[in-house]
Structures are given as structure tokens and as C-alpha cells.
Chain A
Amino acid sequence: MSLHTAIVKIEEEKISSKKAKEFIASEKNGAESIFIGRVRNENSGKKVIAVTYDAHDQAVIKSFQSICNNAKNKFDKGAKIFLEHAKGYAPVGEISILIAVGSGHRDEAFQVCRYILEEVKHQCPIWKKEHYVDGKEEWLPGHSLRSKKEI
């Protein structure tokens, strides 16, 4: 198996870099690229304590698989890919997304990892609500899946 994708209910389970490293491990790998996104404590001058992630699970998993398969076809058909994204209430410091790629060479490992990250942000129905130190909360503006012409 060369592909693992999942939405992780973060209040029940953690996203594990150890699990990711084990999944992509192979004697064929000359390079392993790992991207970890975390909840940070500031955004646009506001002090953040946590982020709640919401997701349309079925559509996200479909798009994760499509994005990863496209990445393989584009850069390295033999790449091993691990992709998980958080869902639910994630305090500052928590892993929100983890992408791990095992590949024959460093260029492909970096390219696959970067491609997946940008496409996840661009395509996947995932939303973030930030929680602030003053008790306020706010859904962050994203980009519409409608074409600009339609809007």
C-alpha cells in the first residue's frame, strides 16, 4: 500500500509523525519529506488559543485521494504518501495537517509534499474557526468553490 489518507477526530486521537514515518519507510526511499502544520498562537494580530476544524468527511477523503494520485502521476509514481488532517477542537501547538512523502529522490519528495499542501488548501472542503483569548471566536474567510464568473 503506497497511500494513506484520513481525517482525524483530534479530540479522540492525535496525528502522529511516528506513524507517518513508519508508513512511508522503504528501502527504495532516497528521500523523505515531512510537512507538519500546527495551530499557532497568533493570527492577524489576534491571540489565538485554539482552532476548531470542520470538514465534509466524504468529500475530503475523495479529494485527498485524487490529489495524492495526481501528485504521484505528476512527480513520482512510486512515491509513498501519508496525509492526515485534523477535525474538531485543536489547541495551540496541535498538529493540524501532516504530509509525509517517501520517494527515490529529494526533488520529487519536496515537490509531492508541496503540491499536496497547496492543493489541499485549494480544493478540500475544510473550515477553520479560531478561538481567541478574549473568548471571541470567528470562522475564517476562505475561498469559494464557485467560479468568479458565477459570483
Chain B
Amino acid sequence: MEIQLKLYGSSKILSDKDTLNIQLPDNSNIEKLRNILNKIISKKHLKSNLENLPKTAAFFSEKDEVVNDNYKLKNKESISIIPPIGGG
């Protein structure tokens, strides 16, 4: 299955676009997404910038609510990655 990851803050260096399509095994959850993200970051040689991102990021569902690691992802679902925040 495939999900669309909406990119914010530091995660934007993962793609030239505002989103990144990610292939996952069926029935994957957020924890699995974190593992896949780790691999993508290594593959793109972005460890020096984003090493902690998979661990520290939160994820928002399409309802803009934080979802926990057990949250089951659906095919074609749109998920936002929320790196550590710091506005104001």
C-alpha cells in the first residue's frame, strides 16, 4: 500500500515537493512508518540532518489529530509529519 506523507519544517528536505509518497506493507502502523522513514533518510544520505526525525516526529491524521504508534494506516491515506515544533 501507499500513503502520502505531508512534509513540514525540517522534513521538507526529504523531497522537492510538499509531499512524499511512501510504499508500506499492508496493515502497517505508525511504528512501521517510522522504521521506513529511517531507511529513506539513510538512503538519501540525510542522516546528518534528520537522524532523530523518525523518533522525535509526531504524526497527524487527516483530522489534524496526533495519532499514536499503533494507529493503522490505510491505503492512499494522507498523513502529516510533525517534526519538533518551535514557533513564536
Q: Contact at B88–A144, with CB atoms within 8 Å?
A: no
- Smallest beta-carbon distance A144→chain B, Å: 4
Q: Does A46 sit within 8 A of B, measured CB to CB?
A: no
CB-nearest residue of chain B relative to A53? B87
A127 lies within 8 A of B55 (CB):
no
- Asked whether A126 lies within 8 Å of B82 as measured between CB atoms, the reply is no
List 5 other contacts, CB 8 Å, given A54-B12, A59-B80, A120-B87: A56-B64, A126-B85, A127-B8, A139-B10, A145-B58
**Cβ of A121 and Cβ of B87 under 8 Å apart?**
yes
How big is chain B's contact interface, by range? Answer: 20 to 34
Contacts A/B (CB < 8 Å), 7 sampled: A85-B88, A120-B88, A124-B85, A141-B86, A145-B58, A145-B85, A151-B56
Whether A127 and B88, one on each chain, are in contact in the complex, defined by CB atoms closer than 8 angstroms, is no
Q: When A and B form their complex, which 8 residue pairs have the shortest distance between CB atoms, in order from nearest?
A: A126-B87, A142-B86, A127-B9, A142-B84, A145-B58, A139-B10, A121-B88, A59-B64
Give the interface centre of A54, A120, A125 by most chain B CB atoms within 10 Å.
A125
